[in-house]
Structures are given as C-alpha cells and as structure tokens.
Structure 1
C-alpha cells in the first residue's frame, strides 16, 4: 500500500511517498508554487501537480496536513486541502487528514514541537534519509502517521474477527 503525504504550502509543499507495508520511503521532496501570485492559478497548478503525483506513484492513500487556523495564507491553504480531497476522491483514494498539533504530538511527543524536533523525528522514522528541509520532514511524518493509523485499524479488525 502506497501513501502520498502532503504538507500543503505556497512556498514549498512538502511531499512523501512511502510503502506502508515495508515502511520504506520511496520518494520525497518539495514543490513550490511561490512564483504564482493568483490564488486560482495556484490552486490549478497544485491540482495538476497532485494529480500527476498520484498517478505517477500509483498511490492508494492520500494523507494531508490541515493548515493552522491562523496566518495570512490560511484561506489559500484550506483551498489546497479541499483541492487535495477533491483529487483523491476523483481517483478513488482513501483520504486521511491530521492537524499540525496532532502530528507534532504523535511524532515528537508534544504538540508544540519546533521544526528541528520534527526533522529529528523524521530522521528516526526513516533512518538513512536526510530530509532537505522541515517541509519534507513533515510530509514524511504525515505518511508515517497515516501508515500507523492504517496498521492499527487492520489490527483491530483482525482481533474482532
């Protein structure tokens, strides 16, 4: 099962693709949209990029980080999250969503972990890979979180059977 995780942003959307069964990082990086200034054009570019990523990597699950409820770009970021859900729905993918504090607590043990703590957590989750920046690290952790939730759900089903 392949998971594509995204940390939506205009500046640098972090992304990661992992194999959830083997707990292996397949690809990860960042995608910038900061050269585009019109929100509608950013949304259109994001949609095309995300659709291409889902198809290229043949993913089964799309895991998305919700934006914080503050900041100048909140309006845009919620639009990108909505677009991600629409793309995932169109492709028949399972969609999962986590919030920044929830992810930080899961990955680093506290809901207010800073960027360096999240990069350290990503290094621990995927030994041998050095994230290029905190956006990629967040995406790796979003993917790991989603894989953990899916495994937990499967274990609960096994026990109930």
Structure 2
C-alpha cells in the first residue's frame, strides 16, 4: 500500500510517501511544504493544497492519512490549523482518495510506544524504523509517523488500539 501522510499547517506542512504494509515499510519521499510568512493566509492555504495535489499526481498514493484535530490553547492557532487541515482534506478528496485520521497520541503510541513522546523521540524512532540516513525535520518526521501509524492500523491486532477514522 502506498500512503500519503500529512501533518497539516499553514506555513510548514509535513508530508511523507511511504509504501509497505504493517510488517515492512520504506519511505519514498518526505519533507515539508514551506510557505513564506509574507504570503496571506488564503494564498498559503492554496499553496498547501497545490503542493499536496502535486504530490498526489507524482506518487499516486492509494490513501491519505492525516493527523486528527489537536487541542491548542490559542483560538487563532486552532483556526489556522483547522484551515490547513481543510486544505489537505480538499486536495485528497479532489483526487478521490480515501482519507484516514489519527489522534496525535495514538500516532506516538504506535511509533514510539508512548503517547506522550516528544518530537525528538518521534523523529528518532521514525529514522530507526525506516532506516533513514538522516533525522527528518520535525514536521516531516510527524508525517512519517502518521504513515507508519496508518500501516500499523492495517494489522487487525493493532487497529483497535489506533481507532482509525475514515473521513
């Protein structure tokens, strides 16, 4: 299975393309779609959508896995993250792809074994699990972790732990 995983944000959207199953996975591509601060929010959202659309066209994933809504203390941050998530969902829906979402704690639990793991721990484990030569940037590492969590969810023994949602 080929998965496009996305850690949505308006300025730094992490993405990962991983192929494999619950037993063996390899990273095809990963990185961060970086949007300049000077770009207005509406254009930044369009750029996120276009960047993801281009990845979908290039790699032809079978599904998209996205980090679910997280709780933040700032209303402004919550609105911004929700808008980036919407841009992600629209890009995937436009391509006719199935979309799955995973709670941040469940992703960390699947990859690190601890739902409260820090970003450095997630990046370290992603690097180790995928045999990467470098530690990915945090946003890319988060996307890689989302993809790994999705593939783990395909294992009937782990699926109930992750409680994936098809949206």
- Alignment-derived partner of residue 18 in structure 2: 18
TM-score by length of 2: 0.82
Asked whether the equivalents of residues 63 and 96 of structure 1 are also in contact (C-alpha less than 8 Å), the reply is yes
- Alignment-derived partner of residue 152 in structure 2: 148
Matches within 5 A, 1:44-123: 44-70=46-72, 71=74, 72-123=76-127
- Alignment-derived partner of residue 133 in structure 1: 137
CA offsets, 1:61-99, max 9 Å, x none? 111112422134221111121222222122111111112
Asked whether the equivalents of residues 62 and 97 of structure 2 are also in contact (C-alpha less than 8 Å), the reply is yes
For this pair of structures, how many residues does the alignment match? 154
- Alignment-derived partner of residue 45 in structure 2: 43
TM-score by length of 1: 0.85
- Alignment-derived partner of residue 32 in structure 1: 34
CA distance in structure 2 between the aligned counterparts of 1:140 and 1:49, rounded to whole angstroms:
17
Q: Describe the shift of the 1:36–1:74 C-alpha distance in structure 2 as closer, same or farther (beyond 3 A).
A: farther
Gaps of 5+ in 2: 160-167
Gaps of 5+ in 1: 156-161
